[in-house]
């Protein structure tokens, strides 16, 4: 891969949900995730990365170097075996062979190089590939925080009529079901892009970076479902540094983006005002991608 990124970036993304469940909590009957102390809604980094991966898989189908490593139905050991086959190296079978492979720094470097060159999400997010077919562990340049709603959310439990049933014995039942939604919520998520990790480890390129921005803007457009309701990316603000190490602490940049609730209860993006402090910080450029 050529044209590896050489600038540090941070970004702030706003997205909203209307009458949907943006990220169900399996420990709470799949109700929308919530911070129990503040009542704010939560969407995990894993959920957001899943949507980025899904978009990349759609947008770059059959394009060399843009496969997705973590996807539905993928067998990770088989993904790793491709690297061994490419290098003409036998897959280790015994504990001793695996230890030998793990201690072979040159081989590990070649295995990692193959995986990074072929899988976009490894170049972006890294991966723990220390399975039965070991390919080392890679720390990716892209890190994403949990998204949190600007205001506390209301977890609404909606009763729905169920016409069809699964089993015969259920045919005489009540015919009712449950659906959990957030009537409306505006979520904010912050992320980081490390040029140093891109340069030293994964080879994340300028083209990869542009695809990341594209995915963040469009990731909900191909993810619609009855459960998720209406989800939309509303704003993407990017902070671009002049150097790879950066020119300002990330928290100072994040604090430049403010959001104010101007109508309550909020039921649309028009009930909020998002502002950006444009006072210059030496060595940092503010880009509004959306």
236-249: pLDDT as tens digits: 999 999 999 999 99
> Domain range for residue 69?
9-288
pTM of full prediction above 0.95: no
User: How open is the CA angle 45-120-98, to the nearest 5 degrees?
Assistant: 90
Contact 239, 279 (CB under 8 A): no
pLDDT for 102 equals 84
Q: With 90 as the cut, is the pLDDT of residue 174 above it?
A: no
* 4 domain-assigned: no
For a pLDDT cut of 70, what percent of the chain falls above it?
97
* Cα–chain center distance at 252: 23
* 2 domain-assigned: no
* 260 domain-assigned: yes
* 1 domain-assigned: no
pLDDT digits (tens, 9 = 90+) for 177-194: 788 999 999 999 999 999
* 36 domain-assigned: yes
Half-sphere exposure of 2 (CA within 13 A, CB side): 0
Mean pLDDT score, 151-171? 81
User: Could you tell me the pLDDT band of residue 72, with boundaries at 50, 70 and 90?
Assistant: confident
* 44 domain-assigned: yes
- DSSP code, position 168: G
Count of domains observed in the chain: 1
* 88 domain-assigned: yes
Q: With 70 as the cut, is the pLDDT of residue 33 above it?
A: yes
* 61 domain-assigned: yes
């Amino acid at each position: 891969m050529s044209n590896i990124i050489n600038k540090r970036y941070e970004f702030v993304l706003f997205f909203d949900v209307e009458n949907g469940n943006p990220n169900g909590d399996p420990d709470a009957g799949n109700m929308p995730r919530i911070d129990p102390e503040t009542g704010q809604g939560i969407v995990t980094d894993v959920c957001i990365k899943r949507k980025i991966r899904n978009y990349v898989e759609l947008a770059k189908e059959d394009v060399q170097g843009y496969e997705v490593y973590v996807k539905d139905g993928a067998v990770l050991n088989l993904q790793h075996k491709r690297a061994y086959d490419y290098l003409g190296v036998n897959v280790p079978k015994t504990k001793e062979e695996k230890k030998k492979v793990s201690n072979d720094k040159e081989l590990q470097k070649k295995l990692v190089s193959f995986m990074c060159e072929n899988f976009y999400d490894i170049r972006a997010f890294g991966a723990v590939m220390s399975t039965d077919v070991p390919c080392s562990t890679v720390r990716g340049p892209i890190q994403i925080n949990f998204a949190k709603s600007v205001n506390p959310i209301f977890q609404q439990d909606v009763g729905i009529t169920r016409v069809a049933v699964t089993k015969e014995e259920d045919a005489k039942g009540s015919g009712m079901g449950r659906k959990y939604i957030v009537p409306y919520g505006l979520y904010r998520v912050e992320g980081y892009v490390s040029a140093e990790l891109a340069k030293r480890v994964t080879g994340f390129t300028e083209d990869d970076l542009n695809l990341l921005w594209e995915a963040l803007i469009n990731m909900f457009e191909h993810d619609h479902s009855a459960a998720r309701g209406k989800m939309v990316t509303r704003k993407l603000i990017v902070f671009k540094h002049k150097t790879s190490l950066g020119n300002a602490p990330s928290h100072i940049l994040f604090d430049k983006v403010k959001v104010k609730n101007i109508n309550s209860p909020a039921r649309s993006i028009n009930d909020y005002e998002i502002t950006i402090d444009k006072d210059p910080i030496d060595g940092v450029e503010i880009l509004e991608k959306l």
